[in-house]
Amino acid sequence: MKSSAIVLASRPAGAPSPENFRTEEIEIGTPRDGEVSLRVLYLSLDPYMRGRMSDAKSYAKPVEVGGVMTGETVCEVTQSRSPEFKEGDIVRAMTGWRTRAVMDASSVKRVNTHGAPASTALGVLGMPGFTAYGGMKVIGQPKSGETVVVAAASGPVGSLVGQLGMRVGARAVGIAGGRDKCDYVKNELGFDAVVDHRSPDFAFELAAVCPNGVDVYFENVGGHVWDAVLPLLNLYARVPVCGLIAQYNGPGKGENDRLPAAMSAVLRRSLLLRGFINTEFVPTHYEAFQQELGPLVASGEIKYREDMVDGLENAPEAFMGMLKGSNFGKLLVRVS
Ligand code: NDP
């Protein structure tokens, strides 16, 4: 059996471009004992994939040049040679950017979204949602009356960070790019305030909506957003350092200048910055995340938004756009 796949054609220097990707037909064979055959329904496109395109030292191995782009998908089991799964089961798997795959059944997980659409297993009820949950539970620990600030606030991580903050009685301040995203964060997600990071007066506007400073800054972007938040951090503020998307395509202008000022603030205000990769919290918090969030998402109490792109062939363009903020909600590709 064959599958269409998108492979890494070359490593990008700076922002990825179409030449870095190539579509290929690959042979996948048929399942042997203990394996399942999968038809990919949805592919998740995530910022971490930019890191996998580079061979710089990282917490995870890069994709080899010529290798299938890495990624998690929601799939239908089309053939099973494992007692764990039967034809028609909906599962999630690390198949990468492709239409079909044959996988070892032990690496495939059954999707349980408590009645919410299966695609949410890649977003609010999947890895990005769990990242928000784990980062807030373990590091952010917001309390009633405190101020929680998060950027990329309309995306799957940021939107849940703010909603989790509000659920414990904290004020949620979102940062997003452009009017439509800001309106969504304020009016539909119900954040207490939102600021557009593209505004020329961004730093002043952020300070104005944080009159009592910032107690939890969930770091999703770095760059000029971190610059604006740093002076607002209160004594003992917590900073879960989750992602730095503004810097993934290479160092920005003046980036080195920020470090001494940042570290001086860490010292003077006894700030707790703690980096994390969501997998660290899986053993201790994943089960609770699914049990707690699943019903809240299914009932609509926790809101989310998906940005669905049709066709695997459109994945590279959608991915490149996400690194510039063109996605509006959890970016997914409807593969079949
Ligand atoms: P999103 O779906 O929110 O997409 C990324 C968003 O980042 C864009 O839509 C854009 O939103 C914003 N953005 C892009 N470039 C810039 C920029 N230069 N300055 C400010 N904002 C920018 O992403 P996710 O919710 O999936 O991920 C959010 C962050 O969390 C990322 O940094 C990601 O790498 C990180 N992450 C970390 C994990 C971990 O385990 N540590 C796991 C999962 C995600 P806007 O237009 O609103 O600015």
Choosing from 139, 184, 221, 278 the residue with most ligand 1 atoms within 8 A of its CB, the one to mutate for a pocket test is 221
Delimit the domains of the chain by residue range.
2-116+305-334, 127-278
Q: What percent of the chain has pLDDT over 90?
A: 90
For 179-200, what is the mean pLDDT? 98
Backbone angles phi, psi at 163, to 5 degrees: -65, -35
Supply the pLDDT for residue 260.
79
Question: What's the whole-model pTM score?
Answer: 0.95
Cα torsion through 23, 26, 32, 37, rounded to 10: 30
Cα torsion through 327, 329, 332, 336, rounded to 10: -110
Cβ atoms 43, 4 nearer than 8 A: no
- Tell me which residue of 65, 327, 13 sits closest to 184, measured CA to CA: 327
For 274-288, what is the mean pLDDT? 96
Per CATH, the homologous superfamily of domain 2-116+305-334 is Medium-chain alcohol dehydrogenases, catalytic domain (3.90.180.10)
For 112-131, what is the mean pLDDT? 96
Q: Which amino acid is at 308?
A: M
Supply the pLDDT for residue 85.
98
CA 288 – CA 291 distance, rounded (Å) = 5
Q: How many CB atoms lie within 10 A of CB 169?
A: 11
Each residue of 197-256: pLDDT tens digit?
999 999 999 999 999 999 999 999 998 999 999 999 999 999 999 999 988 887 665 555
Residue 325 has pLDDT above 70, yes or no: yes
Q: How many CB atoms lie within 10 A of CB 6?
A: 23
For domain 127-278, say whether CATH 3.40.50.720 is its number: yes
Choosing from 154, 157, 248, 307 the residue with most ligand 1 atoms within 8 A of its CB, the one to mutate for a pocket test is 157
pLDDT tier at 30 (50, 70, 90 boundaries)? very high
Residue 173's beta-bridge partner residues? Answer: 149, 193
The closest-lying atom of ligand 1 relative to the alpha carbon of residue 46 is 26
Distance 127 CA to ligand 1 centre (A): 13
Which is more confidently placed, 253 or 15?
Answer: 15
Each residue of 155-165: pLDDT tens digit?
999 999 999 99
Q: Is 322 helix (H, G, I), strand (E, B) or coil?
A: helix
